[in-house]
């Protein structure tokens, strides 16, 4: 086996930590009726339950990048897997909404570690000419992880054994913890180095990473919002079960990978990121409106949803490809932590905003999508050149 193949195997392994972590967020969606049925649950319990996983990343994301720079990405990814396994085990024994809320809060340590450590490690172990491809791969962790979470739960959502979804996901985390032993050890940043996210933002270099983080956060707000509410919306609009609607969304999410690949092809052939993102803004807005339009035909909703997912996947790939271009190697984990924290803050507010939005007229979520695309296009950084290369560090 040549070194090139081995390197891609390592990149895929690192990428899987993002996928399995992202599944934690959407795994709850098909189980909505069971969560609401827990003792002590109220009308707004489900939206709060989904959001609570983002509290730790939202509060500690800035700190996580600095810590990962110190201890290295390998132990951080192993810790994320162990926390994921423990959280899923605790869900099996909790019988109240308050218990679920506490576990969900602690479960936030999974993305807190994984989302900052994984992209930094992928950049560190990939050759300079392969970093854009590696980041394009990383950009697909959200749709793949979202689909994985929906599928894990959809199979048991209609059964009295609905908690088996937590057992299955916990077993996957155990496997990821063991696979973490095969990850490379990387050199921590020296104690005297200013590598924290706050130091990054305080420097001249901080403006472009901040714009990138805000763009990423807006896309998370749109993508997660659709994932949270669309199964319920589709099931009511076309009179189908929530499990079936969740399975449909899980399949549709995977088309984001096609968007990521399309983005890579177009950028490789000379299309600028600004021009491509502008096109995605137009098509994404139109398809987003079509996704929520009350068509009498299921096929019309699905066709526009698939186009929306392609556009979102392409936009996420652009953001990921810009990460190594807007920050120097010394600030990789710090910048990744900034993206993680921004995404977490938007993740926390997304369900409370989207759930009531869909309860009213369909035009409300459609307008949210259009406004979000326009804001993302305005915020997108436009780096003039790639930061100077330096020896890779974890």
DSSP label at 63? H
Task: Examine residue 394 and state whether it is found in any structural domain, yes or no.
Answer: no
Task: Examine residue 169 and state whether it is found in any structural domain, yes or no.
Answer: yes
Residue span of the structural domain in which 356 resides = 9-379
Task: Examine residue 385 and state whether it is found in any structural domain, yes or no.
Answer: no
Task: Examine residue 196 and state whether it is found in any structural domain, yes or no.
Answer: yes
DSSP 353-364: HHHHHHHS-THH
Task: Examine residue 1 and state whether it is found in any structural domain, yes or no.
Answer: no
- Secondary structure tally for the chain: helices H, strands E: 18, 0
pLDDT score recorded for residue 392:
38
Among candidates 354, 141, 345, which has minimal Cα distance to 232?
A: 354
Task: Examine residue 231 and state whether it is found in any structural domain, yes or no.
Answer: yes
Tally of domains within the chain: 1
Task: Give the CATH number, domain containing residue 75.
Answer: 1.20.1250.20
Q: pTM here?
A: 0.77
pLDDT score recorded for residue 378:
95
pLDDT score recorded for residue 65:
66
Task: Examine residue 332 and state whether it is found in any structural domain, yes or no.
Answer: yes
Compute the CA torsion angle 58, 64, 66, 70 (nearest 10 deg): 180
pLDDT score recorded for residue 93:
93
- Residue at token pair 């319920």: 232
Q: Which two tokens stand for residue 238?
A: 């076309």
Task: Examine residue 17 and state whether it is found in any structural domain, yes or no.
Answer: yes
Query: What's the rounded Cα separation, in Å, for the pair 77 and 14?
Result: 8
Query: What's the rounded Cα separation, in Å, for the pair 89 and 172?
Result: 12
pLDDT score recorded for residue 41:
85
Among candidates 171, 197, 165, 220, which has minimal Cα distance to 22?
A: 220
Q: Show pLDDT as tens, one digit a residue, over the chain (394 residues).
A: 454 555 888 999 999 999 999 999 889 888 888 888 899 887 678 888 988 998 888 887 767 666 776 778 899 999 999 999 999 999 999 999 999 999 999 999 998 889 878 888 888 888 777 777 787 788 788 878 888 998 888 878 777 889 999 999 999 999 999 999 999 887 655 554 445 566 666 566 668 888 998 998 999 899 888 888 898 899 889 988 888 888 888 888 888 888 888 888 888 888 889 999 999 999 999 999 999 999 999 999 999 999 999 999 999 889 888 877 887 766 666 677 677 778 888 888 888 888 888 877 889 999 999 999 999 999 999 875 544 443 333 3
pLDDT score recorded for residue 269:
85
Among candidates 375, 366, 317, 288, which has minimal Cα distance to 144?
A: 317
pLDDT score recorded for residue 185:
80
pLDDT score recorded for residue 319:
87
Query: What's the rounded Cα separation, in Å, for the pair 315 and 96?
Result: 39
């Amino acid at each position: 086996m040549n070194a090139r193949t081995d390197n891609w195997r390592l990149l895929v392994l690192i990428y899987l930590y993002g996928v399995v972590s992202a599944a934690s967020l959407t795994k709850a969606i098909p189980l909505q009726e069971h969560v609401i049925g827990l003792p002590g649950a109220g009308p707004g319990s489900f939206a709060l339950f989904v959001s609570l996983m983002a509290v730790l990343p939202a509060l500690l994301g800035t700190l996580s990048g600095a810590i990962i720079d110190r201890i290295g990405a390998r132990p951080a990814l192993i810790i994320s897997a162990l926390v994921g396994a423990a959280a899923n085990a605790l869900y099996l024994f909790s019988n109240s909404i308050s218990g679920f809320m506490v576990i969900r809060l602690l479960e936030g340590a999974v993305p807190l570690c994984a989302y900052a450590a994984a992209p930094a490690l992928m950049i560190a172990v990939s050759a300079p000419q392969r970093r854009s491809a590696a980041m394009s791969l990383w950009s697909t962790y959200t749709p793949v992880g979202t689909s994985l979470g929906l599928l894990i739960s959809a199979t048991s959502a209609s059964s009295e054994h609905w908690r088996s979804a937590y057992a299955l996901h916990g077993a996957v985390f155990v496997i990821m913890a063991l696979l973490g032993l095969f990850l490379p050890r990387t050199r921590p940043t020296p104690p005297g180095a200013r590598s924290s996210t706050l130091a990054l933002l305080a420097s001249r270099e901080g403006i472009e990473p901040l714009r990138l983080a805000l763009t990423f956060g807006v896309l998370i707000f749109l993508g997660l919002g659709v994932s949270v509410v669309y199964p319920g919306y589709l099931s009511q609009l076309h009179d189908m079960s929530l499990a079936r609607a969740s399975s449909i969304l899980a399949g549709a999410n995977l088309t984001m990978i096609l968007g990521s690949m399309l983005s890579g092809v177009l950028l490789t052939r000379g299309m600028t990121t600004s021009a491509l993102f502008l096109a995605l803004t137009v098509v994404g807005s139109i398809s987003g409106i079509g996704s929520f339009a009350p068509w009498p035909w299921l096929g019309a909703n699905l066709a526009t949803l698939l186009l929306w997912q392609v556009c979102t996947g392409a936009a996420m790939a652009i953001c990921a490809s810009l990460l190594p271009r807007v920050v120097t190697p010394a600030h990789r984990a710090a910048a990744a932590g900034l993206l993680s924290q921004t995404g977490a803050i938007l993740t926390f507010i997304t369900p409370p905003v989207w759930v009531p939005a869909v309860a009213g007229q369909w035009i409300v979520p459609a307008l949210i999508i259009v406004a979000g695309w326009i804001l993302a296009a305005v915020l997108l950084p436009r780096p003039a050149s790639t930061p100077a290369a330096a020896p890779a560090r974890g």
